[in-house]
Amino acid sequence: MAFHGAGRQTVCGDLFPGSELGHKYFCVNSSCSAGGGAAVPQPYSNPASEVPSPAEMEPDRPIGYGAFGVVWSVTDPRDGRKVALKKMPNVFQNLVSCKRVFRELRMLCFFKHDNVLSALDILQPPQIDCFEEIYVITELMQSDLHKVIVSPQPLTTDHIKVFLYQILRGLKYLHSAGILHRDIKPGNLLVNSNCLLKICDFGLARVEEPDPSRHMTQEVVTQYYRAPEVLMGCRHYGSAIDVWSVGCIFAELLGRRILFQAQSPIQQLDLITDLLGTPPLSALASACEGARAHILRGPHKPPSLSVLYMLSDGATHEAVHLLCRMLVFDPAKRISGSDALSHPYLDEGRLRYHTCMCQCCYSVPSGRVYTRDFEPVAERPFSHSYENSLLSVWQGKELIHRFITEHQQGKRVPLCINPQSAAFKTFIRSTAWHSSKVSRKEER
């Protein structure tokens, strides 16, 4: 498509005046010995920046709890840059958690896409005998879509378009690498003050299963965003489950309330059929017996999709058309993330993104030079063949230790946690508290 975007008014830059997450002190230190580094955390100081605001003087603190792990906001002592520090706990409890964490770690190091969060660094592991936890550093984002939706900040059609465009752009990349995210929800879509969006939290992500006879877990996706095939106990599913979640989020952005907010999985399914109508028998083929019986036993419901126009003034014909292509009961008929990007509703989001937000296009005095490929795919599929050769926790520990060490080699000064820092105790407490709460069915 041809762009004539130079000089176009932009909404980027004023969505979150006064971010709630300021610059922080640091609780990791560039020295690897316990007593060797600076005992007191140094305040954020960047020669290029102005005097830190009171918010910037706050100590390090936790900013989020993902499916597996705790995230802290810290400052990288090597360059004064604010980053996010994620602790992956309980790595070596058993072989399944070992495989899961290694998978997430490898994914974070594999990703190279502006709308997908990736690892900037991994903290230096101790000697293998003391190696219990993994710390990953990623880019720090100021907020997430859940916080934006429930905030009083204005959310215009322009915002919604540029957010939805980036969600689908990131999702297309993930799916092209053969990765299912399996927990797409507003809280896992990080945003910063100029509306840049990144998909995060790959604690539940896995590689697509090409063999339909292989069972996959039902213990995925936060209930409000869970696709009907998963709710109905389908044993095999694909990337369409992520697109369903994006459809729910699109409606939530428009209406600023959760689209299907049910108390239980059964009620969740009921709310979905209230909107979409009773599905045809063909869409129930893979459902478990109980779910099929529940749907067939109930009254026949006609679709009531016209209520989507009442979500907000932004629910135009174009918006509802795209929404209805994502919220399709039968996953085989649901639009793909890649095809959704071709929908005309997203043209303006694409234009805005590549005019003022992206890293792939650039400006010259005569105008903007656009990239050839607005929505790039992954260079290669994500490989998980190593998982089959992982047979014991100790072997996993050695592999992960080697992976981290090799990943760092020849790069920057390695980082490790500074146990002398003021924030250290709180850090350990917060992560230990969360670790004890994490007990999830492990699965494939």
Which is nearer to Zn ion, 145 or 361 (by Cβ)? Answer: 361
Query: What does the CA dihedral 291, 294, 300, 302 come to, rounded to 10 degrees?
Result: -40
- Rounded least distance, CB 319 to Zn ion, Å: 24
Query: What one-letter code names the amino acid at 213?
Result: S
- Rounded least distance, CB 355 to Zn ion, Å: 8
Q: Is 183 a catalytic residue?
A: yes
1-9, 166-174, 285-293, 347-355 -> range binding Zn ion (CB under 5 A): 347-355
Going 178 to 180 to 184 to 189, the CA torsion angle's sign is negative
Set 114, 183, 201, 242: catalytic member: 183
Which residue in the set 358, 400, 417, 423 belongs to the binding site for Zn ion (CB under 5 A)? 358
Residue keyed to tokens 């820092």:
421
Query: What one-letter code names the amino acid at 244?
Result: W
- Rounded least distance, CB 257 to Zn ion, Å: 32
Which is nearer to Zn ion, 10 or 46 (by Cβ)? Answer: 10
Which residue in the set 354, 414, 418, 435 belongs to the binding site for Zn ion (CB under 5 A)? 354
Using an 8 Å Cβ cutoff, are 219 and 443 in contact?
yes
Q: Is 360 in the site for Zn ion (CB under 5 A)?
A: yes
Angle at 203 between CA 232 and CA 219, to 5 degrees: 20
Residue keyed to tokens 């792939």:
360
Which residue in the set 342, 371, 383, 395 belongs to the binding site for Zn ion (CB under 5 A)? 371
Which is nearer to Zn ion, 326 or 358 (by Cβ)? Answer: 358
Using an 8 Å Cβ cutoff, are 358 and 301 in contact?
no
Which is nearer to Zn ion, 361 or 416 (by Cβ)? Answer: 361
Decide the pairing of beta strands 134-139 and 81-88: antiparallel
- Rounded least distance, CB 114 to Zn ion, Å: 9
Strand, coil or helix: 35 = coil
**Burial level of 379, CB count in 10 A (0-12/13-18/19+)?**
exposed
Which is nearer to Zn ion, 106 or 354 (by Cβ)? Answer: 354
Q: Is 363 in the site for Zn ion (CB under 5 A)?
A: no
Residue 375 vs residues 138, 249, 391, 437: alpha-carbon distances, Å? 22, 20, 38, 38
Determine whether the annotation assigns residue 86 to a binding site: yes
Beta strands in 273-326 (DSSP E): none
Question: How far apart are the C-alpha atoms of 340 and 324, rounded to whole Å?
Answer: 11
Using an 8 Å Cβ cutoff, are 233 and 290 in contact?
yes
- Rounded least distance, CB 370 to Zn ion, Å: 6
Residue 266 has, within 13 A of its CA and on its CB side, a CA count of 7
Q: Is 38 in the site for Zn ion (CB under 5 A)?
A: no
Q: Is 361 in the site for Zn ion (CB under 5 A)?
A: yes
200-208, 302-310, 370-378, 393-401 -> range binding Zn ion (CB under 5 A): 370-378
Which is nearer to Zn ion, 379 or 406 (by Cβ)? Answer: 379
Decide the pairing of beta strands 416-417 and 143-144: unpaired
User: Could you say which residues in the range 131-190 bind Zn ion, by CB under 5 A?
Assistant: none
Which residues sit in the known binding site? 86
Instruction: Report the binding-site residues for ATP.
Output: 86
Can you give the binding site for Zn ion, defined by CB under 5 A?
354, 358, 360-361, 371
Q: Which residues does the annotation mark as catalytic? A: 183
